Amino acid sequence: MASFLPTEILLKIFSYLPEQSAIDLATVSDLPNSQSFSSSPLPLPIQRHLSRLTDLFSCMLVNHYWCQSVVTFIWRAPFHGLSLPTDTLLARQIVGVYMSCLDEEDRNTISQFGLVLPKSKALFKYCTFLKELDYCAMVLGIKSWMEHASRLYRRKAAQNRWFKDDDNNDDEDGDMVAQLTYTMSSLALSRSNANHSIVIGALLRTFIKQKVRIINLIIRSRETEDWDDGGTYAILLAESHREFLAPLRELRILYNGFVNASREKLFTGLSTACKNLKHIRINIGCPGGSEYTRAKEAKCVTDLIRSQNALNSFYLGECPPKLVSVIEPALSSQSESLIYVVFANVDFAGSSLTALATCLELKMLKIMYCKNASTKVFGPVMKADFHKLRDVRIIGWAEPKLQYWATSVSNKGSILYGKAS
């Protein structure tokens, strides 16, 4: 009977097979009780936790239907949990599998750059399973794959040259051709920055052609290099790729660097391309830059929030002083739909959460390791009439009155739900 279970049920069962440390079991359907913004239970790449996922491999051997379901489960988020640049090799291997899914036109285009593509076609349509995309991991994976594929091409060209020498040592013309091929492939590698964009575009086109509907998009700063003036952002946000971004329901932007113009373009482009996000998580994380550039980026964040039709959850992390007062007013535009708000490592200096007080559908509020969490800042929230607010959690320091209010709200929720406080 288990052999005929629907795919949705099998995927849920598979999510419990790996050890809990290897996957995130929380789902957005658990909100407001969920502490995660992950849109589905997804494993880390299977190559990374081979010893923990042996049960999944066993499931693949049950029958063809189970094999298909396991592959679907694994490839829903192949880049999930990668630590960059440490796991660049894994990202390259994942991209290599995706390259076997390209159509003939894109394969011919990429081959002209002196890159060796997989000869055999993919056993499954791996692209069609994609639900969560870590765009930055994919970009780094593509760059690493191009460098590897170019080395293979040069090695192959060198071998052909030596074979030619063995066959006919006097054939100088043949040796010249081989040497020219080797030189051209080296030049192709030196122009990889330009070709990089073409390969990224080819892979995004493949996703669109195979009607991939991603739910979760992750953007994070690349630890190994700058964002080449936003070139990789521009590819993702191109008008021809709007169809790829339209189904998005969850957006996570995790920064760990300085403010720059490309970041502003990213927020502006996402505001135009994504109108139906349900969950937004933003880590500002900008230790540098002038107050003007910081405020300008914060304004772009507010535009992203205001552009959504019905936002359910909002997470703001690593936010420097004075930016909260720029971003927080945008929450009033989502007052009828917002039910879950998290502030993590936020400095509330000079802020007053008046907009949050208008979100009367709020069910859960979480404040983690924030500075200047005072009754002056949260006064409007404490006075608001939240009929559905049942869970307020404060981790770290806060004024005693604020702590008391949070405890009383949570205790009230425990009594209403019949739980012990």
Neighbour order of strands in the sheet with 391-395: 132-134, 216-220, 250-254, 279-283, 313-319, 340-346, 364-368, 391-395
CA distance 372 to 228: 37
Beta-strand pair 132-134/250-254: unpaired
CA distance 33 to 172: 74
C-alpha dist (Å) from residue 79 to 137, 139, 184, 216, 360? 7, 11, 33, 12, 37
CA distance 300 to 194: 28
Q: Give the CA count within 13 Å in the CB-facing half-sphere of 69.
A: 24
- Please report, to the nearest 10 degrees, the dihedral formed by the alpha carbons of residues 146, 149, 155, 158 taken in order: -70
Q: Is 214 helix (H, G, I), strand (E, B) or coil?
A: coil
> pTM of this prediction?
0.81
Question: What are the DSSP calls for 174-210, one per residue?
Answer: HHHHHHHHHHHHHHHHHTHHHHHHHHHHHHHHHHHHT
Q: Enumerate residues 6+ apart whose C-beta is below 8 A from 86.
A: none
At 3, list the tokens. 């052999």
- Digitized pLDDT (tens) for each residue of the chain, 421 residues in all: 566 778 778 777 777 665 433 333 222 333 333 333 333 333 444 444 444 456 677 777 888 888 888 888 889 999 988 887 778 888 999 999 999 999 999 999 888 887 888 887 778 889 999 999 999 899 999 989 998 888 877 777 666 655 555 555 545 555 555 555 555 554 554 455 668 888 999 999 999 999 999 999 999 875 434 445 557 888 999 999 999 999 999 999 987 655 566 778 889 899 999 999 999 999 987 655 677 777 888 899 999 999 999 999 999 999 888 899 999 999 999 999 999 999 999 999 999 999 999 999 999 999 999 999 999 999 999 999 999 999 999 999 899 999 999 999 988 755 544 443 3
CA distance 338 to 97: 39
Give the model's pLDDT for residue 118: 83
Angle of helix 172-190 relative to helix 135-167, nearest 10 degrees, comes to 170
Question: What are the DSSP calls for 76-110, one per residue?
Answer: TSTTTT--TTTTHHHHHHHHHHHHTT--HHHHHHH
Query: H or E stretch including 281?
Result: strand 279-283
CA distance 355 to 82: 36
Is-contact 119 96, C-beta < 8 A? no
At 359, list the tokens. 């979100």
* Domains of the chain in sequence order: 1-74 (no CATH), 82-217 (no CATH), 249-421 (3.80.10.10)
Beta-strand pair 279-283/216-220: unpaired
Classify residue 281 as left (phi > 0), alpha (psi -120 to 50) or beta: beta
At 1, list the tokens. 């009977």
